[in-house]
Amino acid sequence: MAAKGDMFYVWAADADVLKKGECGGAITALQQYALKSGMVDAVLAVRKGQDIYDAVPVFITNPDEVAETAGSLHCGTLLLSKLVKQYLDSNKTARLGVTVKGCDTMGLIELAKRNAVDMDRLLLLGVNCGGSVSPVLARKMIAEKFEVDPDVVHKEEIDKGQFIIEYEGGHKGISIDDLEDWGYGRRSNCRRCLYKVPRQADLACGNWGVIGDKAGKATFVEVCSEKGANLLDAAAKAGAVATGPANPKGIEIRGKVENAMLKLGNKWRKKNFEALASDLWGTIASETGRCIKCYSCIENCPVCFPVAEGLRGDSRMVTSGEVPPNPMFHLRRFAHISDSCINCGQCEELCPMEIPLALFSHAIRTEGDSVFEPKLGKAPYTN
């Protein structure tokens, strides 16, 4: 019987899922079983759209369709929190299985604090995340630095400190550090993230720590809740997945990889935040002067609700039709998410004027947190 804190190697029993899925297809098999058994009524996953740079969220009610979402997309920069909220709002009693990154999990927790989602109706399968790459920048990076036509690339992955592509005729990997020194690589918010293993999900899954004959053929699964333990036990009993104890050396390696990622995240925080330290508010005022008030930053923020916060229409601080808006437009938004920014990067990723909004929000939150919690940033579950 699995229990919270247990660690396993897990892989799909079905040959097709085993072949299609990443690292043995454990997550695909577990989501498929959860849906087939009635533990959830639907699954929210992400599948490849037109190409590997096009990540498409999809709600699935047919277990046979879950396998279509197998594999990972590091060039998909979606955040699923608000999609989950919309589904639960429209399906009042439904239970939903969701494959989540750390920022998805944090977004859901912030929504739960506002009574906007019921976590009891969710089954969360967390995936370790070293970061994602903007689709537009990924294509440019592959063309310019890998010297490969982005359209012939059929797979990409981040592994052992490299961004690796597979394409017609071969494969190639380049150091993430080098790519980021050249202005490519992961999104800036991902570089600063300190939530690499999503232990606030029901299961935390990934390839870190899988060694020996199971390397590349199984998923490292850490049980993080009773709900996660029940899913793993039931799926194994039904023959949907096979399990084995995690190799002690693999557990040690997983810890080292996580700590290395945390050190890298803290390095980027220091670099980014120190650049702002001399004049944070002056920099914000200058950069936000390009704002066209499209509201994309607000609409895509998982913790921002524009009507409730008075950030739309006429008010004392937001004047309709005024472009660029009065600086109070942004200052008010930063203020009301200052204790809850999850550094997901959606505001910055989707800003048509390329304003570094995520950097500003994250800097403000981190500075505020440091006043009350000086040690924040050292634990692996912080954002």
Distance CA 353, CA 376 (A): 32
**Average pLDDT rounded to a whole number, residues 54-80:** 91
Say if residue 381's pLDDT is above 70. no
Q: What is the pLDDT of residue 368?
A: 78
Say if residue 379's pLDDT is above 80. no
**Average pLDDT rounded to a whole number, residues 246-271:** 95
More reliable by pLDDT, 295 or 174: 174
Q: What is the pLDDT of residue 376?
A: 44
Distance CA 46, CA 135 (A): 15
Q: Tens digit of pLDDT for each residue in 280-323?
A: 888 988 999 999 988 899 888 988 876 544 455 555 556 777 88
**Average pLDDT rounded to a whole number, residues 346-374:** 86
Terminal Cα distance for the chain, rounded: 32
Q: What is the pLDDT of residue 325?
A: 85
**R_g of the chain computed on alpha carbons:** 21
Q: Tens digit of pLDDT for each residue in 202-232?
A: 999 999 999 999 999 999 999 999 999 999 9
pLDDT bucket at 380, cuts 50 / 70 / 90: very low
Say if residue 126's pLDDT is above 60. yes
**Average pLDDT rounded to a whole number, residues 61-86:** 91
Going by C-alpha positions, the residue among 195, 178, 175, 165 that lies closest to residue 378 is 195
Q: What is the pLDDT of residue 307?
A: 54
pLDDT bucket at 256, cuts 50 / 70 / 90: very high
Say if residue 169's pLDDT is above 90. no
Q: Tens digit of pLDDT for each residue in 159-168?
A: 778 899 999 8
Say if residue 342's pLDDT is above 70. yes
Q: Give the mean pLDDT of the chain.
A: 90
pLDDT bucket at 20, cuts 50 / 70 / 90: confident
Q: Tens digit of pLDDT for each residue in 357-367?
A: 999 999 988 88
**Average pLDDT rounded to a whole number, residues 98-111:** 95
**Average pLDDT rounded to a whole number, residues 48-72:** 92
Q: What is the pLDDT of residue 267?
A: 93
Q: What is the pLDDT of residue 316?
A: 55
